Amino acid sequence: MKTGVAEQTKNIHVGGAVDELLQLVSFNIGSEEFGVDILKVQEINRMVEITKVPQAPHYVEGVINLRGKVIPIVDLRKRFNLELKEYDKNTRIVVVDISGNILGMVVDSVSEVLRLPSNTIEPPPEIVTGINSEYIKGVAKLEDRLLIFLDLSKVIDISEMGSFKQ
- The pLDDT tens digits for 3-44 are 444 433 344 444 444 468 889 999 999 989 999 999 999 999
Domain of residue 119, residue span:
6-157
- Rounded Cα distance, 146 and 107, in Å: 18
The number of folded domains in the chain is 1
Mean model confidence pLDDT for the chain: 82
| Bridge partners of residue 117, in order along the sequence | 21
Domain CATH code at residue 76 = 2.40.50.180
Average pLDDT over residues 105-132: 81
In a 3-state reduction of DSSP, which class is residue 38?
helix
Q: What is the distance between the alpha carbons of residues 85 and 91, in angstroms, rounded to a whole number?
A: 10
The answer to whether residue 160 scores a pLDDT higher than 70 is: no
Is 1 domain-assigned? no
Q: So what's the pLDDT on residue 12? A: 41
Report, as an integer, the average pLDDT of 142-166: 75
Question: Which pLDDT belongs to residue 39?
Answer: 94
Task: Report the pLDDT value the prediction gives residue 102, as an integer from 0 to 100.
Answer: 94
> Which has the higher per-residue pLDDT, 65 or 17?
65
Residue 165 counted as domain residue = no
Q: Which of 3-12, 42-51, 126-135 has the highest mean pLDDT?
A: 42-51
Q: Residue 159 — pLDDT band, cuts 50, 70, 90?
A: low
Does the residue 138 lie in any domain? yes
Q: Is residue 166 part of a domain?
A: no
Cβ(53)–Cβ(63) below 8 Å: yes
Whether the per-residue pLDDT at 165 is higher than 60: the answer is no
Specify if 163 maps to a domain. Answer: no
DSSP string spanning 100-162? TEEEEEEESEEEEEEEEEGGGEEPPPSS-SSS-GGGEEEEEE-SS-EEEEE-HHHHS-GGGGG
pLDDT at 76 over 70: yes
Residue 164 within a domain: no
- Percent helix / strand / coil, the chain, rounded to 5: 15, 45, 40
Backbone angles phi, psi at 119, to 5 degrees: -75, -5
Q: How many CB atoms lie within 10 A of CB 36?
A: 23
Q: What's the pLDDT tens digit per position in 77-112? A: 999 888 999 999 999 999 999 989 999 999 999 999
Is residue 104 domain-resident? yes
| 131 has pLDDT over 90 | no
Choose between 11 and 49: higher pLDDT: 49
Rg (CA), the chain: 16
Does residue 75 lie within any of the structural domains? yes
